[in-house]
Structure 1
Amino acid sequence: MAHFVIVGAGECGARAAFALREKGFDGDVTLIGAEAIAPYERPPLSKDGSGQAPDPKFVAASERYQEQSIDLRLDTTVTAIDPVAKAIRLSDGHMLGYDKLLLATGATARGLPGADGTSDRIRVLRTHADAVALHAALHPGRHIAIIGGGFIGLELAATARMRGADVTVIEGLPRVLKRGVPEEIAQAITERHRLEGVDVRCGETIRSVREETDKVIIGLANGEMIPADLLLVGIGASPNIGLAEAAGLTIDNGIAINERLETSVSDIYAAGDCCSFPLALYGGRRVRLESWRNAQEQANLAAANMLGEGAEISAVPWFWSDQYDLTLQIAGLAEGATTHIRRDLGDGAFILFHLDESGRLLAASGIGRGNAVARDIRLAEMLIAAHAHPDPGALEASGIKLKSLLAA
């Protein structure tokens, strides 16, 4: 009987295990996770603005793994892969053979440069344990400093303010969300954070970080010293490639896979945050995506291809972020766009359409309260997938339905 092994029990790995069963695989499935709790979703860790300690949002109830005959091994570390013997070594020294192997090892939050890991007053957010540790500090009367004006940093800033803490965000680049978000949307988000009382500092260089008994002192290059009760480091994440690299797999901004999620070694696949892949929709450009939807989509694709379906990546990249009552959604990749067209939707909501020099729609970025931009972003996503060249005037005119452009 065939044995499929999945290393990494996060969103991607867990959903791939269930997808194998849904597609009729009746062999053995082993799902291995380093954390001690069952697979859970990560987006709620930074987006929960309630006053309660965050509970894990599990991918599936524990009994479902048993019902589907998935051997879930938690609190277990894989120390090596032997591609020749087609086996992995576990932290207890045992070897586990596989017929096909999926690496869904995810990513690790980057720590503060020059600092030795985290401490009680210097923290990152990647795991449920991180979120629980952060919770106690997010309350009125505490001052939270956040290094990094990306999505994680800003979502944590919103969460901290919603819980009553004072917040300072320090970003080294000239504006927040410099990578991947248009300036108009970044400006709208910055204004909202400042309206909520967040002190947003852009273009600042950090000269020093000193941890004291009851606070952390952040020294800026301009000589200013910022004291905080807690420092959150939100400067991105690095793909977990150690196992793959040691086993001789090709690495290129993550574990390099082809359009079928195959690595450079036979019968080893990779999916989710840990890998980079070519997007035919964008001329084969190699990208690495850290997103909830990408983890889900590649989980299903990995399961299909481990079963020999030969399916290729075709999904349009999509990302969202919740901050206060605002939701930001992005479909596609705007790199290479030469024209940016704005469509106003009312009540402050708007979408920016990004077209290349030929007029092809590459991406759409929208922001508004609640689900204000959701429908139009979904339609834009379909236009992007169709390689559409929509009329710029029709994109700008809010009275013209995007659905009509799709039909055309």
Structure 2
Amino acid sequence: MDGIIIVGAGEAGTRAAFALRETGFSGGVTLIGTEPHLPYERPPLSKPLNETVQMKPICGSEALKAAGIEYGQGVSASRLDAEAQSVVLSDGRTLTYDKLLLATGARPRRLTCPGAERALDFRTYADAAEVFSRGEAGKKVAIIGGGLIGMELAAVLRGKGIAVSVIEAAPKPLGRAVPPRFAAKLHARHQDEGVVFHLGQGVAEITDDAVVLANGDAVPADIVVAAIGVQPDVALAEAAGLATGNGILTDGCLRTSDPNIFAAGDCAAVAQPGGGHMRFESWRNARSQAETASRNMAGGNDAFAAIPWFWSDQYDLGLQVAGLPLPGYQSVVRALGEGELEFYLDHGRLVAAAGLGIGNGLAKDIKLAEMLIVAGSNPDPEALADPALNLKALLRSARAA
């Protein structure tokens, strides 16, 4: 046997390599990573410690060695031949495989305006190191994009005394993923902290000292950061003839259109029971998909069925969202001393929950809400709204039912 090759050494790829060993797979495992570092976690990049970007390793070299995982550090996959079951690497080697996992992640979306090359990305450790090394008190930073990454970065920079402007083409920030109730509260907090917003504005040009908006206004900037989202990295899969769309298309078991090739993490668009494909972009979902793909590459046939979940830290506020809150759902709000919870019901069934509070104070409530979602609970809306009623009691009732 030629074993298993994993292309991509982020959260999904690295976790998959170790999960293969945990399933008892004893064949060769090769992990290919393009960056010149050991595998590391991305979420801490926007949360520097003592003014220094955190490099939080997923694993150490000794752990890789102990697990018998060959790590191709600083090497990329330049070509995939699905018919020959081989991968050509940037160092000239050609490796063959029995099974392949594509965990190629996502790439930052690129600005197309004049001067776009002046904007810094914020995706890798090198990106974060450059932004924070150049950012210091007295500087002016313009962040293009009012999504989660842009807003998290704005919070950190304001904490360092840096003047921050956020430019967003939509009429409000955090409009895509965050429930409107909490998006509005976070927006207000940023304004209280001194962040200046330019909403409903496109970018016409980036100059040496400003971002020129579509309406002609100039936003002064010593540093410009592009945070306009990411695109799944499908280039390798597409060139190999695999089915792609908004990601590498997989079935529910994370198999691609080639039965010997799987995909997991930010690059994977997973078939949904009701039709269509969905990408799950979060740290925890990357881990869950990695574990599912590993079991299936080792001979299993498990469907990926995790609930979408993400979190964001901005100033002293912690946001968590479980499930997919959609505008048409019934909303039930529970006010708590340290924040608020919002539950979302679809014809009486709990399908999503979100919370915003100080630090990690609402994490237990969101976890209990997730368990209620998994249990298929149809809770009484009045009970959900009552802060005196413990969610554990609702969970016991749901499980008994």
* TM-score for both structures, normalised by structure 1: 0.94
Partner of residue 301 from structure 1, selected from 278, 292, 302: 292
Q: Which amino acid aligns with 1:296?
A: R
Once the two structures are superposed, the pairs formed by residues 5-404 of structure 1 within 5 Å of their partners are 5-48=5-48, 50-114=49-113, 118-119=117-118, 122-210=119-207, 212=208, 215=209, 217-280=210-273, 283-284=274-275, 286-335=277-326, 337-347=328-338, 349-356=339-346, 358-404=347-393
Deviates more, 1:140-149 or 1:218-227: 218-227
Contact 2:171 2:200 in 1 (8 A): yes
Query: How many Å separate the matches in 2 of 1:101 and 1:367?
Result: 40
Contact 1:2 1:99 in 2 (8 A): yes
Query: How many Å separate the matches in 1 of 2:50 and 2:25?
Result: 43
Q: Which amino acid aligns with 2:370?
A: E
Contact 2:115 2:205 in 1 (8 A): no
Once the two structures are TM-superposed, the CA of residue 272 in structure 1 deviates from its matched residue by: 0.1
Per-residue CA distance 1:257-292 (angstroms, 9 max, x = gap): 111110010210000000111344xx3552112110
Once the two structures are TM-superposed, the CA of residue 79 in structure 1 deviates from its matched residue by: 1.1
Contact 1:279 1:314 in 2 (8 A): no
Per-residue CA distance 1:27-55 (angstroms, 9 max, x = gap): 1110001111111000011133x342213
Query: How many Å separate the matches in 2 of 1:125 and 1:318?
Result: 22
Per-residue CA distance 1:186-243 (angstroms, 9 max, x = gap): 1110111111111122222323222x2xx2x211233321110000110100000001
Once the two structures are TM-superposed, the CA of residue 309 in structure 1 deviates from its matched residue by: 1.6
Contact 2:145 2:166 in 1 (8 A): yes
Structure 1 gaps of 5+ residues are none
Contact 1:118 1:124 in 2 (8 A): no
Contact 1:11 1:295 in 2 (8 A): yes
Contact 2:104 2:233 in 1 (8 A): yes
Contact 2:113 2:204 in 1 (8 A): no
Contact 2:135 2:223 in 1 (8 A): no
Secondary structure of 2:382's counterpart equals: helix
Query: How many Å separate the matches in 2 of 1:285 and 1:344?
Result: 36
Contact 2:115 2:206 in 1 (8 A): no
Contact 2:113 2:203 in 1 (8 A): no
Partner residue, 1:4? 4
Once the two structures are TM-superposed, the CA of residue 351 in structure 1 deviates from its matched residue by: 1.0
Cα gap change, 1:179/1:253 in structure 2, threshold over 3 Å: closer, same or farther?
same
* TM-score for both structures, normalised by structure 2: 0.96
Query: How many Å separate the matches in 1 of 2:205 and 2:379?
Result: 50
Count, aligned residues: 397
Once the two structures are TM-superposed, the CA of residue 382 in structure 1 deviates from its matched residue by: 1.2
CA RMSD of the aligned region, Å?
A: 1.5
Query: How many Å separate the matches in 1 of 2:390 and 2:302?
Result: 33
Contact 2:113 2:205 in 1 (8 A): no
Q: Which amino acid aligns with 1:59?
A: I
Q: Which amino acid aligns with 2:294?
A: A
Per-residue CA distance 1:330-365 (angstroms, 9 max, x = gap): 000113643111111113x00111112x11212111
Query: How many Å separate the matches in 2 of 1:149 and 1:371?
Result: 23
Secondary structure of 1:264's counterpart equals: coil
Cα gap change, 1:172/1:208 in structure 2, threshold over 3 Å: closer, same or farther?
same
Contact 2:270 2:279 in 1 (8 A): yes
Secondary structure of 2:15's counterpart equals: helix
Contact 1:279 1:313 in 2 (8 A): no
Cα gap change, 1:117/1:76 in structure 2, threshold over 3 Å: closer, same or farther?
farther
Structure 2 gaps of 5+ residues are none
Cα gap change, 1:295/1:115 in structure 2, threshold over 3 Å: closer, same or farther?
farther
Q: Which amino acid aligns with 1:132?
A: A
Query: How many Å separate the matches in 2 of 1:135 and 1:229?
Result: 13
Query: How many Å separate the matches in 1 of 2:115 and 2:81?
Result: 31
Once the two structures are TM-superposed, the CA of residue 117 in structure 1 deviates from its matched residue by: 6.1
Q: Which amino acid aligns with 1:270?
A: A
Contact 2:234 2:247 in 1 (8 A): yes
Query: How many Å separate the matches in 2 of 1:221 and 1:336?
Result: 30
Once the two structures are TM-superposed, the CA of residue 135 in structure 1 deviates from its matched residue by: 1.3
Per-residue CA distance 1:44-86 (angstroms, 9 max, x = gap): 11133x3422131000111111111110001111111111111
